[in-house]
């Protein structure tokens, strides 16, 4: 892991929602020093903003899932008209996503939104951009400048458009897109600098993971603004997850990125869950809630581990908010080594499970009782940690295979039986 790239921080939110700092390590636009903030997770509502009740319910759901910032689309005047009520009824910083109509940006600022997102491909008229910049400056809110691969090609100038489209479909597509993204970003940001406006976040999303990595890497060398990472139109969660995690994980591991949005063509709660898990996995955020380790199962399994793991995952997410490490292992063959460091662990055997809490064996229960007993132990351990009677990760699970008490009828017995049945290999020499 490379150290985080220092950036000029911006602040999103107000005293009611709390302020989310994006970036840090360099002085902010007021000259104040600010250490880098944890990488924040963003998402966007999928419903209509003007449907206030539904929009508020969706924002609350995304916030409860862990979103630090939520963006809403404001394509029409009725959407910006809904913002005052939405802002009054929610408690997370809200970003207005503006496409095509700069008036929507002005209305959103007037409504009290916490940040504006502009796309240079859609709002390029200099006078209009200046008007939005001045409104944001007066309101003290930042602007994200988001260049997207899909909207980067010129729209108004026909000659220029033909030339750019020709290049985009050339064999040098990747290099050309990269160059045009950076060039348009530079031209656009010049307007901001001329207005002495520096509270800017940059994004440069593509559907292509490799182009996304190259674009953000290039931009990180040229600008000191915080970067909002994302892969656009990544697809459904099943495939979009790989695409997003490859691109965002690579950049974050290289120290690039201050806020992220994973985007899926499915329930956006999944975007938040996967974004947070990515940051936890890279050690860029302090984990909230339990961490689950589970074996993939193999021919030694003697319980329905897949169902058990899903039930444990769901139950822990609902009931445990401390970062307790929980291991669910199919047997004691590899289980103890792989579950090392777990606070609470279960090792399954022949339709049973032995449960350990910080190295101490506390129960041997039939399969049907594994889930409730494991949860009870997790909740009891969580309470002990809260009371200061135990510490997370203090004692390791330490049982030594084979099956310590012979209670499980575990994989070791099966392996021993197999070994006894197998014919020794003989090596012939001539
Ligand atoms: S813990 Fe046991 S059941 Fe699970 S994969 Fe390892 S050997 Fe197989």
Q: Is 228 in the pocket of ligand 1 (CB under 6 A)?
A: no
Q: Which atom of ligand 1 is nearest to the CA of 331?
A: 2
Ligand 1 centroid – CA 326 distance (Å)? 16
Looking at the structure, give the CATH architecture of the domain made up of residues 291-417: 2-Layer Sandwich (3.30)
pLDDT(177) > 70: yes
**For residue range 17-69, what is the model confidence (pLDDT) as tens digits?**
999 999 999 999 999 988 999 999 999 999 999 999 999 999 999 999 999 99
Spell out the domain ranges in the chain: 10-281, 291-417
Give the other-Cβ count within 10 Å of 110's Cβ. Answer: 13
Question: What pLDDT is attached to residue 300?
Answer: 86
CB-CB contact of 408 with 338 (8 Å): no
Ligand 1 centroid – CA 381 distance (Å)? 25
**For residue range 344-384, what is the model confidence (pLDDT) as tens digits?**
999 998 899 999 898 888 999 999 999 999 999 999 999 99
CB-CB contact of 76 with 283 (8 Å): no
* Burial category of 369 from C-beta neighbours within 10 Å (exposed 0-12, middle 13-18, buried 19 and up): middle
What is the pTM assigned to this prediction? 0.84
pLDDT(157) > 70: no
Ligand 1 centroid – CA 88 distance (Å)? 51
Which of 399, 403, 411, 416 most suits a substitution to test ligand 1, by most atoms within 8 Å of the C-beta? 411
Q: Whose CA is nearest to atom 3 of ligand 1?
A: 330
Closest CA to 343 of 291, 403, 306: 291
Task: Look up the CATH superfamily of 10-281.
Answer: Dihydropteroate synthase-like (3.20.20.20)
Q: Is 305 in the pocket of ligand 1 (CB under 6 A)?
A: no
Question: What pLDDT is attached to residue 424?
Answer: 47
Q: Is 368 in the pocket of ligand 1 (CB under 6 A)?
A: no
Least confident span in 81-90, 299-308, 367-376 = 299-308
Which of 293, 294, 333 most suits a substitution to test ligand 1, by most atoms within 8 Å of the C-beta? 333
Distance in angstroms (rounded) separating the CA atoms of residues 142 and 71:
13
**For residue range 67-76, what is the model confidence (pLDDT) as tens digits?**
999 999 999 9
Q: Is 330 in the pocket of ligand 1 (CB under 6 A)?
A: yes
């Amino acid at each position: 892991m490379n150290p985080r790239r220092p950036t000029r921080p911006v602040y999103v939110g107000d005293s009611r929602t709390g302020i989310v700092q994006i970036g840090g390590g360099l002085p902010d636009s007021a000259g104040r020093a600010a250490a880098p903030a944890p990488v924040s997770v963003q998402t966007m509502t999928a419903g209509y903003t003007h449907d206030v009740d539904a929009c508020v319910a969706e924002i609350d759901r995304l916030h409860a899932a862990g979103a630090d910032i939520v963006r809403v689309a404001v394509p029409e005047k009725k959407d910006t008209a809904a913002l005052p009520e939405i802002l009054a009824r929610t408690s997370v910083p809200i970003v207005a996503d503006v496409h095509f109509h700069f008036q929507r940006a002005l209305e959103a600022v007037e409504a009290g939104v916490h940040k504006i997102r502009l796309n240079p491909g859609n709002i390029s008229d200099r006078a209009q951009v200046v008007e939005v910049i001045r409104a944001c400056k007066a309101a003290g809110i930042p602007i994200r400048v988001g260049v997207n691969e899909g909207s980067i090609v010129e729209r108004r100038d026909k000659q220029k458009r033909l030339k750019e489209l020709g290049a985009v479909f050339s064999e040098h597509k990747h290099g050309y897109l990269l160059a045009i993204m950076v060039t348009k970003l530079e031209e656009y940001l010049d307007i901001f600098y001329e207005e002495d406006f520096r509270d800017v976040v940059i994004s440069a999303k593509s559907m292509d993971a490799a182009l996304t990595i190259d674009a953000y890497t290039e931009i990180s060398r040229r600008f000191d603004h915080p970067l909002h990472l994302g892969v656009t139109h990544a697809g459904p969660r099943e495939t979009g997850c790989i695409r997003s995690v490859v691109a965002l994980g690579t950049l974050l591991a290289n120290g690039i990125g201050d806020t992220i949005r994973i985007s899926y063509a499915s329930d956006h709660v999944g975007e938040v869950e996967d974004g947070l898990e990515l940051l936890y996995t890279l050690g860029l955020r302090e984990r909230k809630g339990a961490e689950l380790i589970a074996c993939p199962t193999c021919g030694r399994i003697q319980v329905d581990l897949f169902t058990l793991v899903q039930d444990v995952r769901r139950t822990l997410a609902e009931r445990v908010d401390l970062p307790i490490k929980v291991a669910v292992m199919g047997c004691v063959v590899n289980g103890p080594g792989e579950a090392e460091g777990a606070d609470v662990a279960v090792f399954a055997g022949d339709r049973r499970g032995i449960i350990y809490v910080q190295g101490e064996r506390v129960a041997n229960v039939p399969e049907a009782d594994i889930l409730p007993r494991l949860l009870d132990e997790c909740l009891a351990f969580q309470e002990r940690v809260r009371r200061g009677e135990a510490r997370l990760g203090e004692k390791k699970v330490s049982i030594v295979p084979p099956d310590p008490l012979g209670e499980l009828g575990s994989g070791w017995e099966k392996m021993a039986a197999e070994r006894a049945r197998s014919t020794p290999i003989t090596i012939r020499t001539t």
